[in-house]
């Protein structure tokens, strides 16, 4: 396997609220390797975005959030370094692309300006050099007539264009890790495919690790090599894309995969859905967190929290029902 660029070890992210601390992320550990595309999937409210924003320490640590665990990047624990160093890593070594490009690009600055800013902060380029480089970045992400677009404002571009601009901003300093937080959710299907192609292309060209956060399993199946499935702030299953899609072990993963509509499915049948909704963080069930929605839940599941255990070469799962049966099922 390739070198690890990011190691997340026992990450807990707790939010301070009026009713005490709420644990949004509970002991999440995973690695990201150089040049790989790692998919993180789960329903809304499962902690995918919180995980990614915790990596960059984007939450207000004085008032809002309490982190524990370790995030190691280039030999340093990101939670130990001062904010000044953290700022140097943000945008330079680890970049982020957000869901909605219209609200994530500053409406009152030109798109060129927003790429230049990144370059000026991290690369200390002169204004002229930074502008040249920014135009090149716009070209690289597939924006036609980049010199003209450079002087336009985000609202003057189409949705797909804006997402390309955001990718250009994120990649301006050739980061080692790109965190893409639902980069295609706000886009049309055709544009989605284009943007995913662009991300995959950049991933290969720049040899950077990509963490793709999404609830779109089809996108993960097509682009990623490994997948992490999250539920209520925990990893419930992880493994290679092949393993997870061919032999999903966790009932939640199975539910997610079955919930994807199929072209050749029986049209008269209702689409599959996972019963219930993701509980609030203040009402986390004891025992297995998925138990209240799980069709296979037993008494043990409701009382005792399962550990994340290895069940194959790449696959790990957090479920009491697996282990012995896994052999039979696979």
Binding site for other proteins (CB under 8 A): 53, 56, 58, 63, 87-92, 95-96, 98, 100, 103-109, 117-118, 121-122, 153, 155, 166, 169
Nearest to 37 by CA among 2, 73, 71, 76: 2
> Do residues 179 and 213 make contact, with C-beta atoms less than 8 angstroms apart?
yes
* Adjacent-strand bridge partners of 17: 20
Question: What minimum distance in Å lies between the beta carbon of 1 and other proteins?
Answer: 28
Question: What minimum distance in Å lies between the beta carbon of 298 and other proteins?
Answer: 42
**67 three-state secondary structure:** strand
Cβ proximity to other proteins, 119 vs 232, nearer residue? 119
Question: What minimum distance in Å lies between the beta carbon of 141 and other proteins?
Answer: 16
Angle made by CA atoms 301, 302, 304, in degrees to the nearest 5: 65
Question: What minimum distance in Å lies between the beta carbon of 87 and other proteins?
Answer: 5
Question: What minimum distance in Å lies between the beta carbon of 41 and other proteins?
Answer: 21
Question: What minimum distance in Å lies between the beta carbon of 214 and other proteins?
Answer: 17
> Do residues 259 and 274 make contact, with C-beta atoms less than 8 angstroms apart?
yes
Cβ proximity to other proteins, 89 vs 220, nearer residue? 89
Residue 159's CB: how many other CB atoms inside 10 A? 15
Question: What minimum distance in Å lies between the beta carbon of 254 and other proteins?
Answer: 34
Whole-angstrom distance, CA of residue 63 vs CA of residue 16: 7
> Do residues 187 and 100 make contact, with C-beta atoms less than 8 angstroms apart?
no
> Do residues 79 and 72 make contact, with C-beta atoms less than 8 angstroms apart?
no
How many CA atoms does the CB half-sphere of 217 hold within 13 Å? 21
Q: Which 8-state DSSP code applies to residue 299?
A: H
Whole-angstrom distance, CA of residue 278 vs CA of residue 324: 28
Cβ proximity to other proteins, 162 vs 226, nearer residue? 162
Cβ proximity to other proteins, 183 vs 239, nearer residue? 183
Cβ proximity to other proteins, 87 vs 247, nearer residue? 87
Question: What minimum distance in Å lies between the beta carbon of 173 and other proteins?
Answer: 9
**159 token code pair:** 């949705």
Phi, psi of 95 (to 5 degrees): -120, 165
Question: What minimum distance in Å lies between the beta carbon of 153 and other proteins?
Answer: 4
Whole-angstrom distance, CA of residue 48 vs CA of residue 35: 21
Cβ proximity to other proteins, 83 vs 280, nearer residue? 83
Cβ proximity to other proteins, 12 vs 102, nearer residue? 102
C-alpha torsion sign, points 59, 60, 62, 63: negative
**89 token code pair:** 């890593």
Cβ proximity to other proteins, 95 vs 214, nearer residue? 95
Whole-angstrom distance, CA of residue 39 vs CA of residue 244: 11
Cβ proximity to other proteins, 123 vs 254, nearer residue? 123
């Amino acid at each position: 396997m390739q070198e690890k660029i990011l190691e997340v070890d026992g990450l807990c992210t707790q939010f301070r609220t009026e009713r005490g601390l709420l644990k949004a992320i509970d002991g999440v550990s995973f690695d990201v390797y150089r040049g790989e595309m790692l998919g993180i999937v789960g329903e809304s409210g499962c902690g995918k975005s919180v995980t990614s924003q915790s990596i960059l320490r984007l939450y207000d640590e004085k008032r809002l959030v309490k982190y524990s665990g370790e995030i190691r990047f280039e030999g340093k624990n990101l939670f130990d370094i001062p904010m000044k160093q953290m700022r140097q890593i943000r945008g330079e070594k680890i970049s982020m692309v957000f869901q909605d490009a219209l609200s994530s690009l500053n409406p009152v600055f030109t798109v060129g300006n927003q790429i230049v800013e990144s370059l000026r902060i991290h690369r200390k380029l002169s204004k002229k050099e930074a502008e040249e480089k920014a135009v090149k970045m716009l070209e690289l992400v597939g924006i036609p007539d980049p010199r003209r677009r450079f002087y336009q404002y985000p609202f003057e571009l189409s949705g797909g264009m804006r997402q390309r601009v955001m990718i250009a901003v994120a990649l301006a300093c050739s980061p080692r890790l790109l965190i893409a937080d639902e980069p295609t959710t706000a886009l049309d299907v055709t544009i989605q495919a284009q943007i995913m192609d662009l991300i995959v292309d950049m991933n290969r060209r720049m040899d950077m690790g990509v963490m793709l956060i999404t609830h779109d399993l089809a996108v993960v199946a097509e682009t990623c090599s490994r997948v992490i499935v999250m539920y209520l702030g925990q990893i419930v299953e992880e493994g290679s894309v092949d393993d997870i899609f061919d032999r999903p072990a966790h009932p939640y993963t199975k539910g997610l995969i079955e919930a994807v509509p199929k072209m050749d499915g029986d049209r008269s049948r209702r689409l599959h859905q996972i019963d219930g909704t993701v509980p609030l963080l203040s009402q986390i069930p004891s025992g297995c967190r998925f138990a209240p929605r799980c069709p296979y839940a037993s008494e043990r599941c409701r009382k005792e929290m399962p550990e994340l255990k290895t069940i194959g070469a790449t696959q790990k799962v957090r479920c009491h029902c697996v282990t012995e049966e896994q052999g039979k099922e696979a």
